[in-house]
Structure formats: C-alpha cells, structure tokens
Amino acid sequence: QSALTQPRSVSGSPGQSATISCAGTNSDVGAYNYVSWYQQHPGKAPKLMIYDVNKRPSGVPDRFSGSKSGNTASLTISGLQAEDEADYYCCSYAGSYTYAVFGGGTKLTVL
Amino acid sequence: QVQLQESGPGLVRPSETLSLTCAVSGASISSYYWIWIRQPPGKGLEWIGYIYYSGSTNYNPSLKSRVTISLDTSKNQLSLKLTSVTAADTAVYYCARLMTTVATDYWGQGTLATVSS
C-alpha cells in the first residue's frame, strides 16, 4: 500500500481536461509545499512534469498544472492529447526521517 | 548533456547482495544529491534513498537495515547495495539526479534486477 493515494485510472477525450488527485496526510502533502508529479510511458523512465506543487520544468507544456489544498495535491492536464496517455505518479516530501513517499500511480487514458 | 547509466547483474540469488552502479557523464557527482528509486514489474515507484557528495545519506526506513548508497568520485559514479534480497526486491532500479527536494531532472534508463534461484 502506497503512502499517497491516487485513483487507479482517469480518462478524458482529446481536447478536454483531466485531473488526478493525490491524497496524503498532514505529515507529507499537507505539511510541505514539496509535491512533484511524474509522467511515465511504458518501458520508459519517469519524467518530471511538476515540482514544488505548481512549478513546471523547462520544456513541459503549460497544459500541465499543479495545485494543493490541505492534504490533497492535484495535477490537471488541459487540452488532452494522445501523447498524454501514460501513468502519472505524485511524490511528496515527508520529513527528514522518511524523506519521500510516492503515490500508487494513475493510468491516464485519452479516449 | 547529463546522462546516467545503470548497470549490474540481471539475476541475483535469494539471500545474496544486489550490487548496482550508476555511471554519470556530463556532470560531476561532487555536486547535487543523487538518488535510487525502484519499480517492481507492473507496480509503482518506491524511493530507496539519496546521497550527497559530502557522503550524507538518507534511506527509506523500510529498507534502511539492508541498503547502502555510496559514491566513487574517481569514477564519477554512484552505487547501490541491497543485502539479503528476496523475490520482493525484484524490480527495475533507477538512478537519478535530485534537482530540488523531491524533483529529479535526469534519470538513467533503469536496470532490471531479478531475484530468483
């Protein structure tokens, strides 16, 4: 069982928006503004899409955005494209002892 | 361009030690934090731990008693050792560079380590 809870699957049609949630606790997501989101295509290494809750690395389209409310972080993908179909993982800082915890991953299907 | 390349034996016997290396090019390991993450087949990501060039380390509490991450600055590479392995340790192991607290900017392609007799 993963430390952070994500829905197993989310779907959307091309051009629509999809939101993936990441539920944690007041010891991880709720305590720090250090949440990252990773995209992983089959057989590939994960790719950083969002860090520090809502910052986008260079090269990541602005269709990807992140937010946080209380103990839950969210990744929103607007204007869905076929290439967005992938697994998405959230990751949160959890203090100096545990350091980092991942969500179980969400499979995004673009219908 | 920063590149990371994991290597190690693809098959490890139960109760033995898994040893992996990650060769880094395009950047000095004497900067940044470097991490290991693993992914069992068909499952999610698991944080293993990090190391800083100073030698400071932090390990996942669930693995802490069995894991060691180290640096070899002469070879510009980092290593992972996991002792007393079981089938549950079968996974693709990734090394990566930590950009900020839990954000990585460069990853290796991953190496599959299978624990089986």
Top pLDDT among A65 and A97 is at A65
Number of C-beta neighbours around residue B69 at 10 A: 23
C-alpha span between B22 and B4 (Å, rounded): 6
Q: List chain B residues with CB under 8 Å of A92.
A: 102
Nearest-CA residue of chain B relative to A44?
B109
Q: Which of B2, B45, B112 to mutate to test the interface with A (most CBs of A within 10 A)?
A: B45
Say if residue A58's pLDDT is above 70: yes
Q: Across the A/B interface, how many CB contacts are shorter than 8 Å?
A: 64
How much is the mean pLDDT over chain B?
96
Q: Does residue A1 carry a pLDDT above 80?
A: no
Which pLDDT score is estimated for B106? 96
* Cβ contact B61–A92 (<8 Å): no
Put simply, the answer to whether A34 touches B104 (Cβ < 8 Å) is: no
Asked if A95 reaches chain B (Cβ–Cβ under 8 Å), the answer is no
Q: CB–CB of B99 and A51 under 8 A?
A: yes
Written as one letter, the residue type at B63 is: L
Percentage of chain B beyond pLDDT 70 is: 100
Residues B98-116: pLDDT tens digits? 999 999 999 999 999 999 9
B45 DSSP 8-state letter: -
Give the model's pLDDT for residue A8: 97
Band of residue A2 on the pLDDT scale cut at 50, 70, 90: low
Q: With contacts defined as CB-CB under 8 Å, which chain B residues touch A93?
A: 101-102
Over 80: is that where the pLDDT of B63 sits? yes
Q: Is A95 helix (H, G, I), strand (E, B) or coil?
A: helix
SS3 A82: helix
Q: What is the pLDDT of residue A12?
A: 95
Q: What is the pLDDT of residue B31?
A: 86
pLDDT at B93: 98
User: What span, in angstroms and rounded, lies between the C-alpha atoms of B4 and A110?
Assistant: 31
Computed over every residue of chain A, the mean pLDDT equals: 96
Q: A7 at the B interface (CB within 8 A)?
A: no
Residue B6 has pLDDT above 70, yes or no: yes
